[in-house]
Amino acid sequence: MNANSLIAAMKELVGNANVVDTPSDMEPHLIDWRKRHSGKAACIVFPGTTAQVSAVLAFCNDNAVKVFPQGGNTSVCGGSVPDSSGASVLLNMRKMNRIIELNPRNNSMTVEAGCVLADIQAAALEVDRLFPLTLGAEGSCQIGGNIATNAGGTNVLRFGNTRDLILGVEVVLADGRIWNGLRSLRKNNSGYDLKNLFIGSEGTLGVVTAATLKLFPRPHAIATAMLGVETVSAAVDEGLKLQAAFPGELVGLELISQSEFDISLRHAANTRNPFQHTPNWTVLVELAAATGTSESLADRLTEALNDSFSNGAVQDAVIASNEQQRGELWRIRHHVTEANGREGMGLTHDIAVPTYRIPDFVERAGRALAEHYPTAVPVIVGHMGDGNLHYIAMFTHEYWASVEDKAAVQLKLSHLLYDISAEMGGTFSAEHGIGSLHVAEMEMYKDAAEVALMREFKQLLDPRNTMNPGRVLPNAAVAD
Ligand SMILES: Cc1cc2nc3c(=O)[nH]c(=O)nc-3n(C[C@H](O)[C@H](O)[C@H](O)COP(=O)(O)OP(=O)(O)OC[C@H]3O[C@@H](n4cnc5c(N)ncnc54)[C@H](O)[C@@H]3O)c2cc1C
């Protein structure tokens, strides 16, 4: 189908005001947040209702037009921009941003997929509830994107991934059929749990148009601390100790290497070093409790840390004494992605290993990097409590500009690290998803039967391969 006919059909289906086709208007949506992946589209469609999404998908399916769903465009693995054909539809969900129902008596909330995560968190707080999904991109990413990527973030240790926070979803399938699974039940064993097929499917099986979310009591006491430790082993041990000391209250346990800490201080606005000297490793700890006061929780944390101070396991510690200080500590953590972008060319790896293998991984990865890429600086930040590290090989912009075959370097370096992770029973993609960046690794690191089964699901739900083709599965089959 030629572009003009496609654009005319889209305008017919959703209205002129909801279709954009001029290059300058499309441009911001065609490049990703980190400016590393770009694509082309015939037009961008902004549906306002589930019925419009359904009409668009049915039309595209009938006419073999590819559809690329887009949320807040914060994907860090090339998942949120279209391919280079220029003949596709980019389906941007931002106009579907209504809160459909907020029900504190059921601890649930039903929202459209285009709601920005920070707005959902704020709406929950207004009724004295917590929606605990939190990540650095929360001011831009949408709940539909979070569901599509099964996003993680900094509260997974206590509340789980996005998957654990979803009670029901509404999905439009590739052929336009609507499945309304917006249930708000905690228990429902009536057949296969289809919602979990769509959570984490990155828009390859259908478009999430709405979701029912779990809410939790709003914590009234919060204690946040940064601990300075000498080694990664000491960090992991301290984490285990805190997990045992604060069951149900330890919500966040983040690890930051000295290199990452310094980069964040150098480039992120309004940050200051809470330590006199940046430690080798920093552990960011957060406790939250529904009752009590922040002061008493901080006192309990101080008491628990006393032992570790006396035996030298923890060398330095800063405990936030008010909300502003808490914000300052988190700022250093939350702004690493943009700070890294300013520092140089960071090749990021989103690996996870069993938590107790983190020190081993860091040690072996460091040796491999020093041997094969001595100019790269290891920069490490991650959700230590989940065994999830963002392991970044940081090159200077000047050095990277001089590398001739960038793709080859990236591939070889990544596979060095993924091999180490795989040998430890780990994964090459812990929370960011596959996007277009990690498609090749699916066949290299996953079980062949598992990938074959995924292809069968894809074939069943999207036989014409119009939904986000080229993402997640390598060369998804096309019927007819
Ligand atoms: C500063 C920063 C910090 C980050 N921190 C974290 C973190 O801690 N943990 C983490 O997991 N991720 C993190 N990310 C990655 C990213 O924010 C998440 O993957 C997020 O869930 C993506 O949401 P989005 O709305 O931006 O989706 P997009 O980036 O627009 O899209 C992501 C994928 O979802 C699909 N998609 C989007 N909306 C829908 C929909 N309604 N239906 C079907 N498919 C859809 C897209 O096609 C694409 O494949 C971070 C990113 C940045 C920039």
CATH number for the domain running over 337-423: 3.30.70.2740
The tens digit of pLDDT for each residue in 54-88 reads: 999 999 999 999 999 999 999 999 999 999 999 99
The tens digit of pLDDT for each residue in 382-441 reads: 999 999 999 999 999 999 999 999 999 999 999 999 999 999 999 999 999 999 999 999
Ligand 1 atom at shortest distance from the alpha carbon of 136: 3
Cα(207) to ligand 1 centroid in Å equals: 14
Cα(41) to ligand 1 centroid in Å equals: 20
> Burial, 36: exposed, middle or buried (Cβ in 10 Å; 0-12, 13-18, 19+)?
middle
Please state, in angstroms and rounded to a whole number, the distance separating the CA atoms of residues 471 and 480. 20
Cα(141) to ligand 1 centroid in Å equals: 6
Please state, in angstroms and rounded to a whole number, the distance separating the CA atoms of residues 251 and 159. 8
What is the reported pLDDT for 476?
57
DSSP E strands in 291-376: the ranges are 316-319, 345-352
Ligand 1, atom 52: closest residue by C-alpha: 137
Cα(350) to ligand 1 centroid in Å equals: 14
Out of 75, 143, 199, 436, mutate this one to test ligand 1's pocket (max ligand atoms within 8 Å of CB): namely: 75
- Which CATH number is correct for 221-328, 3.40.50.80, 3.40.30.10, 3.30.300.20, 3.30.70.2190? 3.30.70.2190
Cα(78) to ligand 1 centroid in Å equals: 10
Ligand 1 atom at shortest distance from the alpha carbon of 140: 26
Looking at residues 299-305, what average pLDDT do you find? 95
Residue 479 confidence (pLDDT) above 60: no
Torsion, Cα 29 331 268 150, to 10 degrees, reads -30
Type of residue at 295: E
Cα(201) to ligand 1 centroid in Å equals: 12
Out of 33, 70, 140, 170, mutate this one to test ligand 1's pocket (max ligand atoms within 8 Å of CB): namely: 70
Mean pLDDT of the residues in the chain: 96
Looking at residues 46-61, what average pLDDT do you find? 98
Residue 315 confidence (pLDDT) above 50: yes
Cα(161) to ligand 1 centroid in Å equals: 13
Cα(73) to ligand 1 centroid in Å equals: 7
Please state, in angstroms and rounded to a whole number, the distance separating the CA atoms of residues 233 and 231. 5
Query: Ligand 1: which residues within 6 Å by Cβ?
Result: 33, 69-76, 79-80, 93, 113, 135-137, 141-142, 144-146, 148-149, 151-153, 202-203, 207-208, 337, 431-432, 468, 471
**Domain parsing of the chain, residue ranges:** 3-92, 99-217, 221-328, 337-423
Ligand 1, atom 3: closest residue by C-alpha: 136
Ligand 1 atom at shortest distance from the alpha carbon of 135: 8
CATH architecture observed for domain 99-217: 2-Layer Sandwich (3.30)
Looking at residues 462-472, what average pLDDT do you find? 96
Ligand 1 atom at shortest distance from the alpha carbon of 152: 11
| 19 SS3 class | strand
Share of the chain above pLDDT 70, in %: 99
Q: What is the CA radius of gyration of the chain?
A: 23
Angstrom CA distances, 418 to 61, 176, 243, stand at 36, 38, 28
Query: Model confidence at 274, in pLDDT bands (50, 70, 90)?
Result: very high
Cα(435) to ligand 1 centroid in Å equals: 10
Cα(107) to ligand 1 centroid in Å equals: 25
Ligand 1 atom at shortest distance from the alpha carbon of 114: 41
Within 8 A by CB and 6+ apart from 242, the residues are: 250, 253, 285, 304
Cβ(175)–Cβ(69) below 8 Å: no
φ and ψ at residue 410, rounded to 5 degrees: -60, -45
Query: Model confidence at 474, in pLDDT bands (50, 70, 90)?
Result: confident
Out of 56, 141, 161, 165, mutate this one to test ligand 1's pocket (max ligand atoms within 8 Å of CB): namely: 141
What is the reported pLDDT for 142?
98
The tens digit of pLDDT for each residue in 115-168 reads: 999 999 999 999 999 999 999 999 999 999 999 999 999 999 999 999 999 999
CATH number for the domain running over 3-92: 3.30.43.10
Can 221-328 and 337-423 be said to share one CATH topology? yes
Cβ(480)–Cβ(216) below 8 Å: no
Ligand 1, atom 27: closest residue by C-alpha: 145
